[in-house]
Each structure stands twice: as structure tokens, then as C-alpha cells.
């Protein structure tokens, strides 16, 4: 489903090379936790898998198609259609309602609000934050915001979800809810990749990739 072959990345010609020619298959329908010491490149790997950074060497394959070295436009399209992101601090726009935040990535993917609003409401309900649709991010808890971020990542029904320390700022109960939501996202064959130091997430991952 999602695969890297001979992958290396450096931020500049003089910077250290990360990943050292790594090859790995991120299995369909499973959650892989990427872990390892600080600075080893966990976040960077998510940016590379998310087609925001291009490999210095090697390639990324999505459904067996090479995607990592494609043009900016092609990578943007792949990203909008096939990849959902969840960041550590939810990164919700403070000026938008929760519902509007969830709908926004669908608009980038070329769909209209009316086509996706019902799906967005359903996702928020499934994640236990249906009652928060009209709230702003400042009016909900960190755990609720992170569940909204998961709903936002799922709105385009992406093949891949990439999450960077999604439980980093959460207490155990909220971490559990977010983890359950991410594991639920693997049902139906999605590939979920989580960069994390959290032993709780590592314990519950289907696979662990140590950098």
C-alpha cells in the first residue's frame, strides 16, 4: 500500500542524511508506530511520506505507483486525495467552527460543502464530539480538539493517515480515545503511521518501526 525503497533525506547538502537508505512496507489496514531517539527523523519521515518533502535518494510508492518525486502539482493532488494528517497540537484554525475545520480539506480536494457536510457531522459523532460542531477550538478540550483533528484527517476518506505525536499533549483517557480513533481508521484497509515516543501508543501499535 505505502512503501519506501532505499529512502534517504537531507535538509541540505551539508546536513546529516536521515533514514540511511531505508526500505519498508507500511501494511494496509494496520497502524505502524515510528519511534526512536529525538532527532532521528520521525517527524521528517511523516513529511516525506506526506509528500511535503522530496526524498534525496530512493522513492515512495502508493498503491505501487511512485509518488515521491512527482511534480509539485501531482504531489499536492495525491496529498489532498489520499493522505490525512494529524499533528500533536491539533492545529485547528481558531477562527473556524469545529464543523468547518473538518470540512475544509474536502474543499481543497475539489468537493463542495453541501456534498460533505453530512459526512463531517457523522465523523464528529463517531468520534464522540458531535455535540461540539458549532464550537471554536478555544471552546473545546485538547482531547476533543485532537478527535476533531482525526475527523478532519478522515474527511476525504484517505488511504493513508499520518499522525505526529498525536497523544503528546494528552492525559491518558484522552490519549486512549485518540488512539482508538486512529486504530479505528485502519478498518477498511487504511494505512496509519504514527510518529511517537508514547509507550502507550507503542504498546497498541500493530507494528513498530524504530529509526
By CB under 6 A, name the binding residues for ligand ATP.
11, 15, 18, 38-44
Smaller CB distance to ligand ATP: residue 48 or 98?
Answer: 48
Smaller CB distance to ligand ATP: residue 32 or 133?
Answer: 32
Within 10 Å of residue 8's Cβ, how many Cβ atoms? 17
Smaller CB distance to ligand ATP: residue 53 or 107?
Answer: 53
The distance of closest approach from Cβ of residue 70 to ligand ATP in the complex, given in angstroms and rounded to an integer, is 21
Smaller CB distance to ligand ATP: residue 41 or 55?
Answer: 41
The distance of closest approach from Cβ of residue 110 to ligand ATP in the complex, given in angstroms and rounded to an integer, is 29
The distance of closest approach from Cβ of residue 159 to ligand ATP in the complex, given in angstroms and rounded to an integer, is 23
CA dihedral 45, 33, 86, 28 (to 10 degrees): 90
The distance of closest approach from Cβ of residue 207 to ligand ATP in the complex, given in angstroms and rounded to an integer, is 18
Amino acid at each position: 500500500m505505502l512503501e519506501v525503497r532505499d529512502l534517504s533525506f537531507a535538509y541540505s547538502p551539508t546536513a546529516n542524511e536521515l533514514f540511511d537508505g531505508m526500505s519498508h512496507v507500511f501494511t494496509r489496514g494496520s497502524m505502524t508506530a515510528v519511534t526512536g531517539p529525538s532527532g532521528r527523523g520521525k517527524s521528517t519521515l511523516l513529511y516525506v511520506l506526506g509528500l511535503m518533502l522530496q526524498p534525496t535518494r530512493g522513492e515512495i510508492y502508493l498503491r505501487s505507483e511512485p509518488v515521491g518525486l512527482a511534480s509539485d502539482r501531482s504531489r499536492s493532488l495525491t496529498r489532498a486525495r489520499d493522505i490525512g494528517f494529524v499533528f500533536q497540537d491539533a492545529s485547528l484554525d481558531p477562527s473556524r467552527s469545529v464543523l468547518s475545520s473538518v470540512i475544509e480539506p474536502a474543499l481543497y480536494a475539489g468537493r463542495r460543502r453541501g456534498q460533505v457536510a453530512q459526512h463531517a457531522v457523522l465523523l464528529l459523532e463517531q468520534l464522540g464530539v458531535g455535540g461540539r460542531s458549532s464550537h471554536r477550538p478555544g471552546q473545546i478540550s485538547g482531547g476533543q480538539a485532537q478527535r476533531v483533528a482525526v475527523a478532519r484527517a478522515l474527511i476525504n476518506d484517505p488511504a493513508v493517515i499520518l499522525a505526529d505525536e498525536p497523544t503528546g499533549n494528552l492525559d491518558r483517557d484522552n490519549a486512549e480515545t485518540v488512539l482508538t480513533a486512529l486504530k479505528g481508521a485502519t478498518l477498511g484497509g487504511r494505512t496509519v503511521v504514527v510518529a511517537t515516543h508514547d509507550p502507550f501508543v507503542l504498546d497498541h501499535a500493530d507494528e513498530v518501526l524504530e529509526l
